[in-house]
């Protein structure tokens, strides 16, 4: 009897398979060659792109992976226009972030048939949405990000692996040696090696793979001493996510299709929350985030105002027909990221892959049900019911179903960091109660950036209604970017050392970009000087030098004193 010839293939740190020769060719096609760089960034989020661009500009070779086929995270694949503070045009963000914003405006001026007024407006807001000074289409942000990275890809300094997800990691002691990723297109696995790895995924997916300590959900008040923390720790208490989509309105036409599979459920769904939601989720009345009282919203796709209340049509409008020359055919495009399609029945983290997939599927059904309700049953601004002329714009989202490529995620796994940012550091009421009226946010001696946004928590999976209150203009401490035990894994977005509460003001576009930029610069500085990231913070001379290094690159480390 002939002996079968076999090939031994490693599939993880502790597992191996013996394959017969007949399967060898298939296995060799599946497992790609290893790749190496000076920095590997897992996740092409907005923070991941900022980390990559900063590291590239400082001379590093970078590998950047992304789960979808679009880089840019919340600005592109999630389709959300930037949520920003009132001073964003002049200060309170990095030079690179302001350049990103201006390049978006320049892209419209170069490629779109703008009116003369719009073309000459230095603060062009293409969608004229009220939520942001720069409401724009996700494809434009994608083009700007791709253009910024293109020279580095051309000369081989940057490798981008789209539609790749992390599978496993090899860690020895306090250092990660490799991370394996798999292509969702062809199943090929690649082992990535680098002195440093950055987790820039939307959910902190690299943290469990690298055994980097993290937490999810809500901390107990007894631990954080936060006024708005939960009484008891609840890892499953996570903010709602939203599956966004873009709409246009064609009066006199009907684009009503069959009702979504779950429409019967969502049509009559009444959230169970504390304090109570005012009625059905699919309704123009919602809970006001600050007062937590019922508040009427408006919807009018043929006008800018609606009886003195917020008009959802213009709230996140990403293209306004009046911005473009009349013969161009451009219509209003409204981005739907509203209270009515916040999904909060299942968490994305902690319940396993099946629960995550079920949550996303149900979140998509909620968004499609909201659209069908608006087309058929929603009270109209003129007293009728339904707007059948509403239709999805799949080409704007880059998808077949017209929904965003990825859910708009508000909460991630968060590292257990050297510094944990708590409400007493930046929550206005608690900070001023504890430190005195007029006191600013905590000043961190290791500040590596600044930001501002109210602490804004959306309804949660454990039944919390909105939690929304004033924050103070704050700093980003380097200590919040350093895991306590792992030396060469760093966060680049919502996965920094914040809490469930302070995540509410550290998760928005310019802050995430600033976190990513600080991390990209930290890796470049550390490798130039032969240091670990932690050693930069622990040596005062090095820390001071690194902060000057950031300032030379246009990073603000403190808010102006007023």
Q: What is the pLDDT of residues 242-283, one digit of tens each?
A: 999 999 999 999 999 999 999 999 999 999 999 999 999 999
State whether 215 and 344 are in the same domain. no
Residue 465 lies in a domain: yes
Structure confidence by residue, pLDDT tens digits, 341-383: 999 999 999 999 999 999 999 999 999 999 999 999 999 989 9
**pLDDT number for residue 303:** 76
Q: What is the CATH number of the domain that holds 530?
A: 3.50.50.60
State whether 200 and 262 are in the same domain. no
| Radius of gyration of the chain from its Cα atoms, rounded to whole angstroms | 24
Using DSSP bridges, classify how beta strands 241-242 and 342-343 pair: parallel, antiparallel or unpaired. Answer: antiparallel
Structure confidence by residue, pLDDT tens digits, 41-75: 999 999 999 999 999 999 999 999 999 999 999 99
Domain boundary among 366, 397, 428: 397
Q: State the DSSP string of 21-56.
A: GGGHHHHHHHB---EE-SEEEE--SHHHHHHHHHHH
Tell me the residue range of the domain where 245 lies.
241-397
**pLDDT number for residue 309:** 87
**pLDDT number for residue 20:** 41
**pLDDT number for residue 259:** 98
Structure confidence by residue, pLDDT tens digits, 296-317: 999 999 876 666 789 999 999 9
Structural domain count, the chain: 2
Q: Is 533 helix (H, G, I), strand (E, B) or coil?
A: helix
State whether 541 and 462 are in the same domain. yes
**pLDDT number for residue 1:** 35
**pLDDT number for residue 562:** 65
Q: In Å, how far from its chain's centre is CA 540?
A: 33
State whether 52 and 190 are in the same domain. yes
Give percent of the chain with pLDDT exceeding 90.
91
Residue 319 lies in a domain: yes
State whether 79 and 170 are in the same domain. yes
Residue 25 lies in a domain: no
Residue 143 lies in a domain: no
**pTM here?**
0.94
**pLDDT number for residue 173:** 97
Residue 366 lies in a domain: yes
Residue 142 lies in a domain: no
Residue 121 lies in a domain: no
Residue 58 lies in a domain: yes
For residue 275, cis peptide bond before it (omega within 30 degrees of 0): yes
Q: Which residues of the chain carry a pLDDT beneath 70?
A: 1-32, 304-307, 562
Q: Is 358 helix (H, G, I), strand (E, B) or coil?
A: helix
State whether 354 and 272 are in the same domain. yes
Among candidates 149, 171, 133, which has minimal Cα distance to 48?
A: 149
């Amino acid at each position: 009897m002939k002996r079968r010839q076999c090939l031994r293939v490693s599939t993880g740190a502790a597992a191996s398979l013996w394959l017969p020769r007949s399967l060898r060719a298939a296995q060799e096609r599946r497992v790609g060659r290893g790749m190496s760089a000076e920095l590997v960034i897992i996740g092409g989020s907005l923070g991941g792109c900022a980390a990559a661009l900063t590291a590239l500009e400082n001379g590093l070779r970078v590998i950047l992976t992304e789960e979808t086929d679009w880089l840019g995270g919340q600005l592109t694949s999630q389709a959300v226009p930037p949520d920003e503070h009132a001073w964003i045009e002049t200060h309170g963000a990095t030079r690179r972030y302001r350049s990103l914003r201006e390049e978006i405006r320049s892209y419209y001026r170069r490629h779109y048939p703008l009116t003369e007024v719009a073309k000459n407006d230095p603060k062009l807001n293409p969608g004229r949405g009220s939520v942001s000074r720069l409401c724009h289409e996700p494809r434009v942000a994608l083009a700007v990000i791709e253009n910024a990275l293109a020279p580095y890809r051309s000369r081989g300094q940057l490798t981008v692996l789209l539609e790749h997800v992390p599978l496993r990691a090899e860690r020895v002691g306090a250092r990660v040696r490799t991370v394996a990723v798999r292509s969702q297109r062809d199943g090929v696995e690649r082992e990535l090696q680098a002195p440093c790895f950055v987790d820039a995924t939307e959910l902190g997916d690299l943290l469990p793979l690298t055994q980097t300590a993290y937490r999810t959900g809500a901390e107990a008040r007894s631990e954080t001493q936060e006024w708005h923390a939960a009484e008891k720790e609840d890892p499953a208490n996570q903010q709602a996510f939203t599956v966004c989509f873009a709409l246009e309105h064609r009066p006199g036409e009907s684009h009503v299709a069959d009702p979504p599979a779950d429409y019967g459920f969502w049509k009559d769904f009444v959230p169970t929350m504390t304090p109570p939601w005012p009625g059905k989720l699919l309704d123009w009345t919602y809970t006001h985030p600050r007062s937590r009282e019922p508040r009427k919203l408006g919807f009018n796709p043929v006008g800018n105002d609606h009886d003195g209340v917020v008009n959802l049509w213009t709230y996140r409008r990403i293209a306004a027909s009046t911005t473009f020359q009349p013969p161009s055919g451009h219509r209003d495009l409204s981005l739907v990221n509203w209270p009515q399609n916040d999904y909060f029945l299942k968490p994305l983290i902690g319940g396993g892959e099946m629960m995550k997939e079920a949550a996303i599927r149900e979140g998509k059904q909620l968004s499609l049900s909201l659209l069908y309700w608006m087309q058929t049953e929603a009270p109209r601004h003129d007293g009728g019911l339904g707007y059948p002329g509403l239709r999805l714009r799949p080409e704007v989202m880059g998808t077949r179903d017209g929904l965003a490529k990825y859910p708009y995620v508000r909460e991630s796994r968060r590292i257990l960091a050297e510094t944990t940012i708590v409400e007493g550091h930046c929550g206005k009421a608690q900070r001023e109660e504890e430190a005195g009226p007029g006191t600013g946010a905590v000043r961190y001696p290791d500040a590596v950036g600044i930001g501002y946004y109210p602490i804004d928590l959306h309804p949660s999976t454990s039944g919390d209604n909105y939690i929304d209150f004033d924050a103070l203009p704050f700093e980003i401490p380097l200590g919040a970017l350093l895991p306590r035990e792992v030396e060469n894994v760093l966060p680049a977005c919502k996965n920094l050392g914040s809490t469930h509460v302070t995540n509410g003001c550290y998760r928005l576009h310019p802050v995430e970009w600033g976190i990513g930029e600080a991390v990209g610069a930290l890796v470049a500085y550390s490798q130039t000087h032969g240091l670990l990231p932690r050693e930069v913070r622990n040596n005062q001379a090095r820390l001071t030098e690194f902060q000057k290094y950031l300032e030379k690159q246009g990073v603000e480390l403190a808010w102006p004193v007023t």
